[in-house]
Amino acid sequence: MHCAACALTIEDALRGVPGVTEADVSAATRRARVVWRPGQVLPSQWMAAVRKAGYQAMPAMDAFAREQRQRESRRALWRWLVAGFCMMQVMMYAWPAYQAMPGDLTAEMEQLLRWASWVITLPVVLFACGPFFSSAWRDIRQRRVSMDLPVALGMLITFVVSMAGTFDPAGPFGREVYYDSLTMFVFFLLTGRWLELRLRDRTAGALEAVMNRLPDSVERRGADGAFVRVATRRLQRGDVLRVLPGEAFPADGRILAGSTQADEALLTGESNPVDKTPGSCVTAGSHNLRAAVEVSVDALGADTRFGQIVALMESASLQKPRLAQMADRVARPFLVGVLLAALAAAVWWWPTDPSHALMVAVAVLVVTCPCALSLATPVAMLTAAGTLARSGVLVRNLQALEALATVDTVVFDKTGTLTHDRLTVSDVQVAPAAGLTSAQALGLAAMLARRSLHPVSRALVAAAEAEREPPDSSWTLDVVHELPGAGLQARAWQEGQELTLRLGKAAHARVAPTEQRQVVLSAVRAGRVVELARFALGESLRPEAATVVRKLRAAGIDVQLLSGDRGAAVHDVAERVGIDVAHGDCTPQDKLQRLQALQAEGHRVAMVGDGLNDGPVLAGAHASIAFGRAVPLAQSRSDVVVLGDNLGSVTQTLLMARRTLHIVRQNLWWSAAYNAIGVPLAIAGYMPAWLAGLGMAFSSLLVVLNAARLARTAGGRAAAVSLVPHPAHSPLEVA
């Protein structure tokens, strides 16, 4: 694959197969996501459709895919070397003709130099130009147009005209030869494509950079107690592994023996090594830094957090932002226009000089190749997504980068966002009529809270575990429901009697409210509400919160606060961080209504929350950011997920989005300006073929180099992100 037209061709081939419901192909990452109905079509059938369209498809996880890509890379390097060597030789033979005065070269000597140039050009045409000709022939057979077709036509016309001038100097095309122009523009073209491929692999994805974080094999303990190296794909839950220093952990698990440090930067954005001792949890994709440890496997593949991360990134890599979709739509009509423009130029110049007419057509065919246009948006977007991923920020939706770049208002949730999500239970007040001790009340509340991921629920569970008192066996819970913005409700039995337990806000528990920040546990039996206990909670403000708000305001972005917490607590936090507009006691519906009111006023709003009870408002915002520690990634409705615990990632993401859109616009303007200047010059006959090839290669290369600037993080490192496919979507590597 070389261009957007290739991606569209493969998509058409896949969608034309009965039983295939979805097909998304990315030209920038060379990957496809296919969704099909197993009862109607087999994978071999739609893979055959891809093969019939002239491309080869293979599972992206297959080791053969990496080997195939490496072979293609080596072959491309050889083609570039052959083209470069032959170009220098042909230029050496052409130089005397350029420098000689009339009479300096005899006819025999000039003919000998032309024959030598023809011989040296043959390897370029037969080997270096092979991919262009094969792709063009495939297009002709399939009756379609791709970006290789005009380029291959230009190469063929130049070679045929030059060969006619060599073998039949008195013929209709005259005695002019263009071997030097041909070899030069092939060399420039291959140089641009090879550098472009290297840069795209390094900055816009390198899809297996993360995939290779998982080792191909690992030492597993056998029945006899000895460790034997086996393939990672053969692991099962419960296996005991020995992970050596420098290796990545292949699965989520728990350390059984040994102590070490792990690099979890990809998973959390935290660059400092994390100490791991016996009993500590380790995550797939993190690296063992210090010593060999024995690990028990708890989760594998898509069930791991690593699997969720790479599935999200894989999905993002196959999306087409709005600007990229526009470029795709114009790619094919533009190519048809290129062919017609070349034909018109040839017809216009033919009466004057047939040879010159054909070379003008070649220049038009080459200079107008829209490679830069098709790469302008996806390469920049993927590079930005890769850079953010290195900092622990996952972009689920590439379109969100375009939306974030235009945001003028950011709305924050409070708990778990501006404040730490690690709430603590500071006091337990048991109602006199409850007949419970503080530890029993806390344990009962924790029985409900274990069914929730909300920060308040986690605080109650942590406090109960700290008491180390066994749960009260007289209580049995069933059918626990979480009501967003209110609390938990469960059907319970005690000593054979059924009742309803409620845990959450005072209104939810149906008891009298208090001024203090409290969570209430109540029981409802036969319509009568009995208050059991109140739990006072404390929270701490994130130290970077005030700085983040100040930086957003400095960037011209208004900041507001919406929270379901009490108004007094919300306004206190708003005052401490410097937010002027704050609203408390908001239900999820209230938050959504206030968000829609802002949007009705013409504001473009980004919502930042913990992803737990903010589902409607996250979905309703122009763009949304959630902290991934608070919610399973697969359930998050946000466009961007922050894996770490640093609120500064919000500012980083917004500024990166603005920078990305700026570079995308630069790329699009450059592509448009390049064609606006190059096409008239080519039609007027002022642009030789070699200069057209140089312009085409330089245009694509400049777009990729410009996007590569997004790969520079604060530490000056280039970002390389890889995406592991999600098994349910069956991504394919398209070669």
Place of tokens 């390897």: 123
> Measured between alpha carbons, how far is 384 from 402 in angstroms, rounded to an integer?
11
Contact 603, 409 (CB under 8 A): yes
Q: Are strands 217-221 and 240-243 parallel, antiparallel or unpaired?
A: antiparallel
Nearest to 251 by CA among 259, 243, 291: 243
Exposure of 595 in the CB half-sphere (CA atoms within 13 A)? 28
> Measured between alpha carbons, how far is 358 from 15 in angstroms, rounded to an integer?
39
Q: Are strands 409-412 and 558-562 parallel, antiparallel or unpaired?
A: parallel
DSSP 140-151: HHHT---THHHH
Q: Tell me the CA end-to-end span of the chain in Å, nearest whole number.
A: 6
> Measured between alpha carbons, how far is 370 from 141 in angstroms, rounded to an integer?
22
Contact 287, 259 (CB under 8 A): no
Nearest to 485 by CA among 616, 613, 592: 613
Q: Are strands 409-412 and 274-276 parallel, antiparallel or unpaired?
A: unpaired
Query: Which whole-number Å values give the CA distances from 560 to 588, 625, 651, 678, in the listed order?
Result: 16, 15, 15, 49
Write the single-letter amino acid at 264. Answer: E
Q: Other C-beta atoms within 10 Å of 681: how many?
A: 16
Structure tokens at 281: 């949890």
Structure tokens at 408: 């003028």
Tell me how many degrees the CA angle 531-536-537 measures, rounded to the nearest 5: 135
DSSP 8-state code for residue 125: I
Among residues 139, 180, 413, 610, the one annotated as catalytic is 413
Write the single-letter amino acid at 318. Answer: L
Q: Which residues contact 347 (CB under 8 A, 6 or more apart)?
A: 357
610 is catalytic: no
Q: What is the CA radius of gyration of the chain?
A: 32
Interaxial angle between packed helices 148-167 and 689-708, expressed in degrees from 0 to 180 and rounded to the nearest 10: 150
Buried b (16+ CB within 10 A) or exposed e, 162-193: bbbbbeebeeebbeebbbbbbbbbbbbbbbbb
Contact 667, 376 (CB under 8 A): yes
Contact 450, 461 (CB under 8 A): yes
Interaxial angle between packed helices 648-683 and 689-708, expressed in degrees from 0 to 180 and rounded to the nearest 10: 170
Would you say how long the chain is, in residues? 735
Main-chain dihedrals φ then ψ at residue 218, nearest 5 degrees: -155, 155
Buried b (16+ CB within 10 A) or exposed e, 534-552: bbebebeebebbbebbebb
As beta bridge partners, residue 488 has 482, 503
Question: Helices (DSSP H) in 425-502: which residue ranges?
Answer: 438-449, 455-467
Q: Are strands 731-734 and 31-36 parallel, antiparallel or unpaired?
A: antiparallel
> Measured between alpha carbons, how far is 1 from 28 in angstroms, rounded to an integer?
9
Nearest to 154 by CA among 185, 130, 188, 118: 185
Q: Would you call 58 helix, strand, or coil by DSSP? A: strand
Write the single-letter amino acid at 3. Answer: C
Q: Which residues contact 572 (CB under 8 A, 6 or more apart)?
A: none
Query: Catalytic residue numbers?
Result: 413
